[in-house]
């Protein structure tokens, strides 16, 4: 889980990650699910739910390593190891970049967006044709820690299954959930629901928010 201060920082990190994995796949095309957190700090209206997500930053980072990539928009790491630092202008620059490509909804506190980053013909795309947007303060979600842990557990379960099924790519520590072909979002959604129960699945849905966008245009 990476704190990213600006859309440019986000683009650099995604390109680096995709380039690293492209070397492992021999330059083949693939897609991988990523999670983007939009979370306010307390001074700008974030409530206890938002605060819990931030407090769990390092734990989520260690738990999700090499399974699914998470990014925290508008926040910076303290170089001296102190608490994460929020910058409203940086956060709003993310919101503007997302709005320009169809992702306009924001719960005003703590949201998680799941969508695919794709390598296609040497280009890097963000696929906004399929997005899962979760408002973490939705009462159907329940306690956000267990909800996010269920997501990581679902991703790990998919990874184990794909390893046993000899998927298109060998599953290494670096490759995570990269996949040739179709998106894994439907599979993640099904596994996620199994972890925390069908009654809470109503908080989740795959929606089309916009087109597949060249990362350079974000």
Phi and psi for 128 in degrees, rounded to 5? -90, 10
H or E segment and range at residue 38: strand 30-39
Average pLDDT over residues 189-202: 78
d(CA 202, CA 218): 30
* Bridge partners, residue 125, by sequence: 118, 214
d(CA 52, CA 95): 21
pLDDT beyond 80 at 94: yes
Residue 144 three-state SS: helix
Per-domain boundaries in the chain: 2-217
Per-residue confidence (pLDDT) for residue 168, from 0 to 100: 56
Provide Rg for the chain, Cα atoms.
16
Residue 128 three-state SS: strand
Q: What is the pLDDT of residues 6-65, one digit of tens each?
A: 999 999 999 999 998 888 888 889 999 999 999 999 999 999 999 999 999 888 888 887
User: Which residues neighbour 184 within 8 Å (Cβ) at sequence distance 6 or greater?
Assistant: 31, 33, 116, 158, 177
pLDDT beyond 80 at 174: no
d(CA 146, CA 99): 29
pTM of the model: 0.91
Total residues found in the chain within this entry: 218
């Amino acid at each position: 889980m990476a704190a990213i201060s600006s859309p440019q920082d986000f683009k650099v990190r995604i390109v680096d990650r995709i380039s690293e994995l492209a070397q492992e796949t021999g330059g083949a095309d693939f897609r991988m699910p990523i999670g983007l957190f939009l979370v306010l700090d307390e001074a700008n209206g974030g409530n206890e739910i938002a605060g819990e997500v931030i407090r769990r930053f390092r734990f989520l980072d260690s738990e999700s390593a090499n399974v699914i990539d998470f990014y925290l928009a508008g926040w910076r790491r303290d170089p001296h190891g102190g608490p994460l630092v929020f910058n409203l202008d940086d956060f709003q620059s993310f919101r503007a970049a997302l709005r320009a490509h169809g992702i306009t909804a924001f719960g005003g506190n703590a949201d998680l967006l799941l969508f695919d980053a794709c390598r296609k013909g040497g280009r890097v795309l963000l696929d906004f044709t399929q997005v899962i947007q979760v408002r973490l303060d939705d009462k159907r979600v329940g306690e956000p820690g267990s909800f996010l842990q269920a997501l990581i557990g679902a991703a790990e379960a998919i990874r184990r299954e794909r390893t046993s099924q000899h998927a298109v790519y060998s599953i290494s520590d670096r490759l995570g959930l990269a996949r040739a072909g179709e998106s894994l979002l439907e599979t993640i959604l099904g596994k996620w629901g199994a972890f925390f129960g069908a009654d809470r699945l109503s908080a989740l849905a795959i929606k089309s928010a916009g087109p597949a966008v060249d990362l350079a245009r974000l």
